[in-house]
Amino acid sequence: MNPPAPPPTAKPTSARTWGRRIAGVVILNVLLVAVLWITAFSLATSFLIGSGVVVVVVAACTVSDVIAAILDAVASAILAALRTTLAGLSAILTVILVVLDAILSVFSF
């Protein structure tokens, strides 16, 4: 007879996954606070609402695997968009600095 199979264990979440989730929640919170502050509420009220949303999202993420998967997908999309935006900005800043260096080298600065 074969020995019984070991019980399935839960897959541990890595620190990178938690870092990605936290970064995604923080970016979403900043956007939420900015939108609330600009449209309807004072800054203090916007911060209170934003912090409440963060607490609810993090609590839901620890309880439900579905919410955790959704948050991982949203965080991946946000961070990918941010990475592309920063790469484009870095290219633009490089061009500006090269042009500025060329102008200043003409005047021997």
Q: How far apart are CA 85 and CA 91, in angstroms?
A: 10
Token duo for residue 94: 């490089």
For the chain, percent of residues with pLDDT exceeding 90: 0
Determine the 3-state secondary structure of 40 from DSSP: coil
Phi-psi group of 7: left, alpha or beta (phi > 0 → left; psi -120 to 50 → alpha; rest → beta)? beta
Q: How far apart are CA 21 and CA 68, in angstroms?
A: 8
Q: How far apart are CA 43 and CA 36, in angstroms?
A: 8
Per-residue pLDDT of the chain (109 residues; tens, 9 = 90+): 677 766 666 555 566 777 888 888 888 888 888 998 898 888 888 888 888 888 888 888 888 888 888 888 888 888 888 888 888 888 888 888 888 888 888 887 6
Nearest of 78, 20, 26 to residue 51 by alpha carbon? 26
